[in-house]
Amino acid sequence: MGNNNKVKRYLIVILKVFVSIFFIYLVARKVDISAMGSILKGVSIPSLLWILLVNFVVTVFIALRWYFILHDFRGKWSFPEIWKLSLIGLYFNVLLPTGTGGDAVKIIYLTRNQQERLKLGTSVVFDRFIGSSTIIFMAVAGVLFYERYLPAELKISITGIFIFVLIVWILILNDRFVVPIGKLFPSVIRQNLKAFYIHLRDYGINSRILFSAIITSIVVQILSVYAQYLSAILVSSAEMRIPFPMFFVFIPIIWLSAIVPSLGGLGIREYGYLFFFRFYLGKDAAIALSLINLLLIFSQALLGAIVFLFFRSKHQDAR
């Protein structure tokens, strides 16, 4: 049984590698290396540093959102610790062949030597869900405003994801619908799911936590989109500027594409930049924009790697 699980994991990793390589190939065959190199050479270093600073501020608000969710544990966890754990999570999201590997690492750190492990671990899941929800709501808003510019397949996909997220929110906020669903699972699994759901609902129905987390998450997404907009200005020519509101349409959709099995969205994300921005920036500038985005991701991961090397929680030696 154990060998079968290992084989499955290896096959999943191989699939992700293949998907990423395939989309990288699709991007590479479209790019003019010399033209893109010229675009990147012309990037203003002071402007790039400002974008990196904005990107750094984003990590602070990401941590703040999680800190708000951990309202009942503030006596145990300080904001600087939560910020460091958030950075470590961003590092492992890049290091591990999945976009959620960092969440697992955060749960390990957060629950070590703690009594309320499940509730603490559920905070990570709820934090991820809040972030994903705001991204999806942004994408839906973008579709409503720019519906005529988007292909039908894309609109259907976003609508389907939106309905799924809406159903999850209904289940979190109203437990009447959960009981019949729970009966579909075996009793052993049902008990574990019930405990997880209770903690998830505790976070969801706490108006102070929910409001603070949602507002902070909106700030995270706005700052992230703003950084993308500034990056586009860096690589675009004067006559090929794209309106700022359009970024609230395209960027969330590109972020959502990372749910496709791949190495943390590598390749698929870059193809998304090419697909959506080539008509506004040109294909070479669109790919240059995707590379700057990759730099932003790696800059957060680098900071997380540094924190990981020196991080020592006061809870690690607790008994």
Res 319: pLDDT = 43
Q: How many CB atoms lie within 10 A of CB 262?
A: 25
Residues 6 or more apart whose Cβ sits within 8 Å of residue 178: 171, 197
On whether the CB atoms of residues 271 and 165 are closer than 8 A, the answer is: no
CA separation for the pair 76, 120 (Å, rounded): 11
DSSP 258-308: GGSSSSTTTTHHHHHHHHHHHHHH-HHHHHHHHHHHHHHHHHHHHHHHHHH
Q: Residue 58 — pLDDT band, cuts 50, 70, 90? A: very high
Q: Which of 243, 220, 248 is nearest to 142 (CA)?
A: 248
Question: Half-sphere exposure (CA, 13 Å, Cβ side) for 283?
Answer: 11
On whether the CB atoms of residues 101 and 92 are closer than 8 A, the answer is: yes
| pLDDT, average across residues 62-72 | 92
Res 154: pLDDT = 75
Res 73: pLDDT = 84
Q: Is the pLDDT of residue 174 over 70?
A: yes
Q: Is the pLDDT of residue 290 over 80?
A: yes
Q: What is the per-residue pLDDT across 226-260, written as a single tens digit (0 to 9) for each?
A: 999 999 988 887 665 677 778 888 888 888 777 77
Q: Where along the chain do its domains lie?
A: 2-310
Q: Please state the pTM of the whole predicted model.
A: 0.86
Res 42: pLDDT = 86
CA separation for the pair 92, 89 (Å, rounded): 5
